[in-house]
């Protein structure tokens, strides 16, 4: 006959459901998850799509128009001078020949926060139209929505705090998930049985998806916080290892921060880990990242369903009675 657990630590190991601490964490996890639900769902879906941001941008970029004029080619300076005659107060920010010397030249001009992006004939300096196609604009808008909700620095700051909240949700979820030493292996997998009600199956899906994708979600959230608050991370790194001429470009912490930016969107080949460059390995990693990126959305939907069953439906029923 086994001895009943006497300490909180023993109860946590064997029967965590009985601990008051776990019940408090459960309530915090539940209500914080609901409060952040739409944010989590939105960031999850857009993030998974943006794993393929480069592919989307290339796919929406039209083939460059080839000049049909017989006039001699203009030099870069000559072409830019002709263009600026129509935009005298603008500053050029990009000069790009996407298709060779006879193809249309893409030029970006900026003034007081306004940006003009046009194609020009490399021989006549004729304006050939906007260099930002509608489909490209949608991709760029999706990126800005994911990064800052189209709110600029304010939205990026809010997004950073949202990432911190997601980290806390993951950590609290791991505490709630722990079923005890005798049941933890079983809780790793979805137990589909005919005699189990669908409400219990929703819990199993939520629990299983959470434990298997917790590492991915932490990477997404932590790297997202870094991208929103890079200066905070850089200042912290400088305190840990002050920069000197001798360690310039060789600090381990700089390399770790560099990796975070690539890890956020699954561009493993960019940091030389696992994949050496574009190819099957790179595409497999991106597919894994895109799939794991949907996990927070799944967690919100299943979590909201459980809340409806446990709380809202009972409240509505009692109100009707």
Nearest to 210 by CA among 180, 178, 162: 178
Strands of 105-111's sheet in order across: 91-96, 105-111, 114-120, 127-130
Please name every residue paired with 127 in a beta bridge, in sequence order, or none if there are none: 120
- DSSP states of 60-91 as a string? TSPPPPBP---SPPPPHHHHHHHHHTT-TT-E
Whole-number Å distance between alpha carbons of 287 and 262: 15
CB 223 within 8 A of CB 264: yes
User: How far apart are alpha carbons 221 and 235 in whole angstroms?
Assistant: 20
Counting Cα atoms < 13 Å in the Cβ hemisphere of 104 gives 17
- Cα–Cα distance for residue pair 45/303, rounded to 1 Å: 17
CA 199: distance to chain centroid? 30
CA 270/CA 262 separation, integer angstroms: 7
Rounded Cα–Cα distance for residues 256 and 260 (Å): 6
Per-residue pLDDT of the chain (321 residues), as tens digits, is 455 556 777 887 877 887 889 899 999 999 999 999 999 999 999 999 999 988 888 788 777 788 889 899 999 999 999 999 999 899 999 898 877 888 999 899 999 878 898 999 999 999 998 887 777 778 888 999 999 999 989 999 999 999 999 999 999 999 999 888 887 777 777 666 556 677 778 888 898 889 999 999 999 999 999 999 999 999 998 998 888 887 777 788 888 888 888 888 887 765 555 666 677 778 888 899 999 999 999 999 999 998 888 877 777 777 776
Tokens describing residue 299: 């967690």
CB atoms within 10 A of CB 311: 13
Tell me which residue of 231, 232, 223, 214 sits closest to 263, measured CA to CA.
223
Given a contact cutoff of 8 angstroms between Cβ atoms, the answer to whether 176 and 29 are in contact is yes
């Amino acid at each position: 006959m086994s001895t009943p657990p006497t300490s909180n630590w023993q109860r946590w190991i064997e029967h965590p459901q009985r601990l008051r601490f776990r019940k408090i964490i459960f309530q915090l996890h539940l209500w914080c998850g609901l409060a952040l639900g739409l944010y989590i769902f939105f960031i999850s879906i857009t993030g998974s799509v943006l794993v393929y941001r480069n592919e989307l941008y290339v796919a929406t970029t039209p083939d460059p128009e080839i000049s049909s004029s017989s006039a001699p080619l203009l030099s870069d300076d000559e072409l830019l001078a002709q263009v600026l005659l129509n935009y005298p107060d603008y500053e050029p920010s990009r000069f790009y020949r996407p298709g060779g010397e006879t193809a249309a030249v893409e030029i970006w001009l900026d003034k007081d926060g306004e940006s003009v992006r046009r194609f020009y004939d490399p021989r006549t300096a004729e304006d050939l139209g906007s260099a930002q196609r509608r489909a490209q604009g949608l991709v760029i808008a999706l990126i800005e929505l994911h990064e800052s909700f189209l709110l600029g620095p304010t939205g990026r700051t809010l997004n950073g705090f949202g990432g911190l909240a997601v980290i806390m949700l993951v950590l609290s979820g791991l505490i709630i998930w722990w079923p005890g030493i005798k049941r933890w292996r079983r809780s790793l997998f979805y137990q589909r049985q005919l005699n189990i009600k669908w409400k219990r199956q929703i819990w199993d899906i939520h629990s299983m998806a959470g434990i298997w994708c917790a590492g991915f979600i932490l990477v997404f959230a932590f790297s997202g916080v870094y991208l929103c608050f890079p200066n905070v991370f850089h200042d912290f790194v400088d305190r840990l290892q002050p920069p000197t001429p001798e360690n310039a470009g060789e600090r381990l912490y700089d390399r770790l921060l560099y990796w975070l930016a690539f890890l956020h969107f699954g561009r493993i080949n960019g940091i030389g880990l696992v994949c050496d460059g574009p190819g099957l390995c790179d595409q497999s990693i991106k597919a894994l990242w895109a799939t794991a990126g949907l996990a927070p959305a799944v967690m919100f939907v299943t979590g909201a369903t459980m809340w409806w069953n446990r709380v809202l439906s009972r409240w509505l029923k009692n109100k009707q009675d």
